[in-house]
Amino acid sequence: MVSLTETQKKARRSRSKAIGFALAALVVIFYVATIVKFGPAILNRPM
Amino acid sequence: MALVDENRLDDQAFRMSEATAGDFFALLKPRVMSLVVFTAIVGLAAAPGSMNPLIGAIAILCIAIGAGASGALNMWYDADIDAIMKRTAKRPVPSGRVQPGEALSFGLVLSVLSVMTLGVLVNWLSAALLAFTIFFYAVIYTMWLKRWTPQNIVIGGAAGSFPPMIGWAAATGSISLESVILFAIIFLWTPPHFWALALFKSDDYQRAGIPMMPNVAGEASTRLQIFVYSLIVAPVGVLPWVLGYTSAFYGIAALLLGAGFVWYAWKVYRMPDSDRVMKPAKALFGYSLVYLATIFSLYLVDAVVERFLTAGGI
């Protein structure tokens, strides 16, 4: 069992937050870019 | 079982990282990145045609991340010499906060991510240019030129010169003479800028065994070369006006800024060998930053105003 020191815990929390933020930003970027590139036509497709 | 766990804890390979998000951000060389972002914005905004601002922002973000990734790869490879130089000893890898393998993975992942995102969401020409820039900085400059030749920053300067061209390519999907001139301004500005720094930091570079021009060719030769480059970069800075890409507002300002560059370089050239304080070299280093920032700001203002006037039909 590995028990982390306070410094290690703090550093891991900081990295986790940054990774979470980066992944969320990536989702937003691709979502926005998709809407911008396709425009309203994204909803206009044969069913 | 307890013994095995204990052994694992003592093993350096299993040491839990103490690197914070800030340490990883420092790997991206944020100060260098800010110049990259700015010149890329100028290239993107000055390019003809219209680009969706959101796609433009994504392009700039990708260029910034790509530049940062090459910085991380540079810090991974150069950790040994960074540890020797005062200016770089506190960087995340030589100070031990980030493990070399972490910096390498971080740089590689961000390189691939930034290039692929730029390619998929903007266009593949700009993505290819970004990929080449990362390769040029990390492999050609960092791994090869930097430790081999005093021309390291002359040729390696190309890596820092590409961002406006990538911005232009992101906006237009092409490369034009105008964007090549923006490239040339940074490319020719790099040697006098870095050699001014190398003059008053030569002891640091000497200790690290990096063949910077003052350590190899001597200070007198470096001072002369700085002056010669200033004589080339000053007129190239005016070229956009001469070729009709900008108004006289930019042209005259660039002329005056260029004259200032030559003047500061002349003071460096006239600096006596006995001068160890090297105020003229420090002044040129500071002025060169102002020169580049101002000339690109003026270029941006000129392009935006011209577009505004054209759109307004004035």
Helices (H) and strands (E) in chain A, counts: 1, 0
Residues 6+ apart with CB under 8 A from B140: B155, B156, B159
Q: Which long-range contacts (CB under 8 A, 24 or more apart) does A13-22 make?
A: A14/B20, A14/B21, A14/B22, A15/B17, A15/B19, A15/B20, A15/B21, A15/B24, A17/B21, A18/B21, A18/B24, A18/B25
CB contact under 8 A, B24 and A29: no
Find the residue in B nearest to A16 (Cα).
B21
Taking the model in full, what pTM does it have? 0.91
B213 in Cβ contact with B165 (< 8 Å): no
Query: What number is the average pLDDT over the span B249-269?
Result: 97
Q: Which residues of A touch B55 (CB under 8 A)?
A: 33, 36-37
Distance between CA B203 and CA B63 in Å, rounded? 34
- Mean pLDDT, chain B, as a whole number? 93
B141 in Cβ contact with B156 (< 8 Å): yes
* Residue B314 reports pLDDT greater than 50: no
CB contact under 8 A, B16 and A2: yes
Tokens standing for residue B46: 């000055």
Interface of A with B in 6-25 (CB under 8 A): 7-8, 10-12, 14-15, 17-18
Encode pLDDT of B67-100 as tens digits. 999 999 999 999 999 999 988 999 999 999 999 9
Encode pLDDT of B43-69 as tens digits. 999 999 888 999 999 999 999 999 999
Give all strands (DSSP E) within B106-233, no chain letters.
none
Domain ranges of chain B: 16-173, 176-314
Find the residue in A nearest to B113 (Cα).
A26
B44 in Cβ contact with B168 (< 8 Å): yes
**Domain B16-173 CATH assignment equals 1.10.357.140:** yes
At residue B107, what are phi and psi to the nearest 5 degrees? -65, -45
ipTM of the complex: 0.86
Confidence of residue B29 (pLDDT cuts 50, 70, 90): very high
At residue B103, what are phi and psi to the nearest 5 degrees? -65, -40
Q: What is the DSSP letter of B139?
A: I
Q: Which residues of A touch B22 (CB under 8 A)?
A: 14
CA angle B46, B50, B55 (to 5 degrees): 95
Interface of B with A in 166-195 (CB under 8 A): none
